[in-house]
Amino acid sequence: MSASHALIPRNSLVWLLTAQIVALIPHLPRLPLWVAAVWLGCALWRVQIQRMRWHYPGWLVQVVLLVAVTLGTWLAQGSLIGLDAAVMMLLLLFMLKLLEMRKPRDALVVIYLGLFIVATAFLFNQSIALALFQCFSLLILVAALVGLQQTQGRNDPARAMRTAGVMLLQAVPLMLVLFLLFPRMGPLWAVNAPGNQARTGLAESMTPADVADLARSGELAFRVTFDGAPPPQPLLYWRAMTLQRFDGRSWSQSQLSAASGVGQWQVRGEPLGYQVVTGASHQPWVFSLRGASSEDERLVLNRDFMLQARRPLTQAIAYRATSHLDSLLEARGLEPLQRRLNLQLPEGFDPRSRFFAEQLRRQYPQDADLLQALLRHFNREPFHYTLRPPTLGRHSTDEFLFDSRRGFCAHFAGAMTFVLRAAGIPARVVAGYQGGEINPRGNYVLVHQFDAHAWVEAWLPGQGWVSFDPTFQVAPERIEDGLQSALQGEGSFLEDSPLSVVRYRNIGWINNARLFWDDVNYQWQLQVLGYHSDRQMDFFQRWLGTADWQRIGLISLLALLLCMLPLAWWILRPAWRAGSRQQRVWLRLNRRLARLQLQARTGEGPRAWQQRLGEALPRQRAELAAFFDAYVQLTYATAPGVGTGQEARMLEQRLKTLLRALPRRRPPRPTRLAGLPDEEQER
């Protein structure tokens, strides 16, 4: 290939490759390994082009590469439609762009694409750690933009980084004003991402294996801040959904239970106010205590007295709720459809459990007495709470109740509901979380995935839906102290997550660091990610005293001007625009000599200025000579960026010496005497 093709300088290519790396890093954990191999191949090919050893790919090769990455995206994502596939395709095209860069304009396109790639990372994660890393990514991309403008002879990576840092710092005030005052719209990551798994981990159906998987995860599910002191842990039953359908293996939610339209309920007990912050689950359910209500327009109370979102949660959400824990739910009676649904059992499953239910019914005609007898059965029989239960066969309830008797909350809740239904008592499984960990730094409750729990609600005449937890009869420490306490003897707590810091919360300094970092993330969620339109309106009312958008617009414009004017003055001030230390020294001396009317003239060089100053200031000739010798040496005799630190400091020291020697006023020009030599004239 001809040398004329290599129009992008080598230093600019280094910047571009570095910028691509930092822009791609946040995406790589979600992508297959071959994507990283594609980038390495493109980077190697580009370097070989720069070394004039390989050619640019022809149109046929470009078509083959395009088809290959498209096919790879389809195989990896299962589709070319959707957010995951679109972002992956964009990343691959971003890599291939390296191979067709011929001019600096093409390099600019790569940098602009890199800025867009940085933004797409927030579609999948909005953590504070990612935000800090993306600030570094922006610094590298802007530095690459600056480095692209540098010539080969004036290549200075450190200066490019400094310039990029100054530019980003200058943008911070404007960014803060826009963040606080610009109308809040749905964020970019509000787009539904079908490829993402639900962050809560809960699904519309429940099997023991599903709950066991959650119990082995130390990830955070949600946080709760109470208006007062948090209630005792045994009262913290976080309801998410009711499971009413049973097919012999799993419990699932019915359409009727998720429908809107609240049944009859009677408020009892003291109100308990709290705020919940949960992440994107791509599901409509949210978490609340019994007897919950909320004025949040994004939430609705469904048929089973559960708060749920009107739309699937595609971003973090903070909402307030009020619960009355002693409320009566449908105490007046069940509708026929509700009763049939909550008595439904599949035919041909678990005959021994059905016979056991018939025995209990004959012995205890009253529903309340039968319930207490069943709870005593779980308490007195040799049941064991474990995350390592044996595999169950077709008649899973029979095998659990009468053979293995080893399991966890999903086994106990499912078996109790089955027996109650077989005995003619309407019952359902409630899925959610139980308990939580108090963070003393912010006095809020952390609920993790391993706090996932299932319990039973049975309908009793005059009392409505009443909660019962058979797990408490077998392992009360699970309800009172948490999962880690219940599994202490077994050693299975987070055994599949050896790097989870929650597993080591019994170590003081690790636990303190974990709680501190969680509090930082919680404030990030509340103050930054949770700054939506309602929070913005509260901010306007509190600090601006108005919600009128016309007045807010005028205030925003004024705030922008107040930010931009100081920046403009800073940038445009000539004395501070000097790009090198010797230029700043020159300007400083020029301002000082302007008081003596001896400033440098337009187009006057340093030696000519030195000679004129020597004639006007004969007593300072030695200081002038020392200063100008150092200035000429640093400016004209030293290669740019090579060993200039010591010389620049010497020049500044010579300037200080010269400034101390200068007179306060310009001395009068002496009268020359005829016949005397210059030395005598000066004397």
Q: Looking at the annotation, which residues are catalytic?
A: 409, 453, 469
Q: Which amino acid is at 376?
A: R
Rounded CA gap, 320 and 297, in Å? 11
Q: Which residues pair with 273 in a beta bridge?
A: 322
Rounded CA gap, 455 and 443, in Å? 27
- Classify residue 676 by burial, with Cβ atoms within 10 Å: 0-12, 13-18, 19+: exposed
Contact in structure between 73 and 89 (CB atoms under 8 Å):
yes
Contact in structure between 113 and 121 (CB atoms under 8 Å):
no
| DSSP per position, 511-527 | HHHHHHHHHHHHHHIII
Contact in structure between 641 and 156 (CB atoms under 8 Å):
yes
Contact in structure between 23 and 90 (CB atoms under 8 Å):
no
CA distances from 410 to 326, 407, 447 (A): 25, 8, 18
Contact in structure between 224 and 445 (CB atoms under 8 Å):
yes
Rounded CA gap, 35 and 73, in Å? 10
**What tokens appear for 153 in the block?**
């002879």
Contact in structure between 324 and 225 (CB atoms under 8 Å):
no
What does the angle CA 286 – CA 289 – CA 291 come to, to the nearest 5 degrees? 110
Strands 406-407 and 384-385: parallel
Rounded CA gap, 391 and 350, in Å? 16
Rounded CA gap, 589 and 448, in Å? 65
DSSP state for residue 190 in the 8-state scheme: G
Nearest to 419 by CA among 365, 375, 463: 375
Rounded CA gap, 514 and 517, in Å? 5
Rounded CA gap, 152 and 54, in Å? 22
Contact in structure between 440 and 519 (CB atoms under 8 Å):
no
- 3-state SS, residue 265: strand
Rounded CA gap, 373 and 359, in Å? 11
Give the strands of the sheet with 437-439, arranged side by side: 292-293, 317-323, 272-278, 220-226, 444-448, 437-439
